[in-house]
Amino acid sequence: MSEHTTNHPAFCTPETFSEITLFSGVGHESIASILERCTTETIEPGEVLLSPGQDNTAVFVLLEGLLSVHLEGEDGEPFTWIERGGCVGEMSLIEGKQPSASVIAETPSRLLKIDQESLWALITMSHAICRNLLFVLSHRMRASNRVILEGSIKQRLLEQTARTDPLTGLYNRRWLDEVLERQLGRCRQSGKPLGFMLLDVDHFKEYNDNNGHLAGDAALIALGKLLDEHIRPGDVAARYGGEEFGVILPNTPLYQAERIAERLRKAVEVATIRDVDGNPLPRISISIGLSMQEPRATVQDLTMRADAALYEAKKEGRNCLRTAL
């Protein structure tokens, strides 16, 4: 990095002076005496100007070139770029802390270096510079807020991906088990009943063999939509695995749980299933096993009893509901 002392006319013309954000609306003659104390520096492509872990004692105004700002290390993708007239280093200088991002030259770049003492002198001398500095800091805050918002959106998408089944869009078994554990705890405390349905597509292997796996996927997708349509807002449906689905029915007595299960069974029996081109496919039916919460029941107890009831429904001819006693 090369450095030399300069005054205002040496580092830019009056025309380009007005393009510098920090000096917008400021007469260069009014601050010339302070700028004479500043220096200009030249850095080459790939050279690091600012970096987390290193102290910073100046604000740098870009006179020529292009800088990139990196939030996730020097080798990460640039978060933003600083073009001619922009500045960097103001936040770390004002806070008296190390930079929070790496700033790297993308092209040969020439910079005006304003040390801490000179910056405060400029602020004291010019209200316009105060205004411009507030504008720069506001821009930085908005950019930071955008990063936080984008990160939050990505995090929510990752969490959603981790708990949903990619084919049907329903929750997956892992999430169902977690919700069931919480719901069991709530029902124990409140004394309200809880039901759990385990349902299975009848003869699904034959359906796949006769119609193809894409048709089988279409049937599972259709079943997922029917579940969404026929359960209540507080109920939780999930793909349990393969052609098996689970439904949690909080605050639901036995008679009501059986009514919901039977309504779903009938809806599936008459539902039209279509392939991706809209052509009708053979209908499906489901067998359902229902279990109700018992004192001190665990998730495993509830699911095992529902599974046993589902086995009975299959053994008795399928397309029916059986309740664990």
Q: Please give the average per-residue pLDDT across 254-274, as a whole number.
A: 96
Residue 312 has a CB neighbour count (10 Å cut-off) of 17
Ordered by start, the domain boundaries in the chain are: 2-153, 173-323
Topology, domain 2-153: Jelly Rolls (2.60.120)
Could you give the residue ranges of the DSSP H alpha helices within 191-323? 204-211, 213-230, 254-270, 299-315
Q: Report pLDDT for 191.
A: 86
Q: Of 124, 76, 130, give the one whose Cα is nearest residue 103.
A: 76
* N-to-C CA span, the chain: 81
- CA–CA separation, 9 vs 274, rounded Å? 75
- CA–CA separation, 49 vs 22, rounded Å? 19
**Active site (catalytic) residues:** 243
- Tell me which of 132 and 9 has the higher pLDDT: 132
pLDDT surpasses 70 at 13: no
Helices H / strands E in the chain, number of each: 11, 16
Q: Which CATH class is domain 173-323?
A: alpha beta
Label residue 17 exposed, middle or buried (CB < 10 Å: 0-12, 13-18, 19+).
buried
Q: Report pLDDT for 4.
A: 45
User: In what helix (H) or strand (E) does residue 185 lie, and over which residues does it extend?
Assistant: helix 173-190
SS3 69: strand
Per-residue pLDDT tens for 174-225? 999 999 999 998 888 888 899 999 999 999 999 999 999 999 999 999 999 9
Q: Report pLDDT for 204.
A: 96
SS3 144: helix
- CA–CA separation, 133 vs 288, rounded Å? 67
Residue 230 has a CB neighbour count (10 Å cut-off) of 18
- Tell me which of 155 and 17 has the higher pLDDT: 17
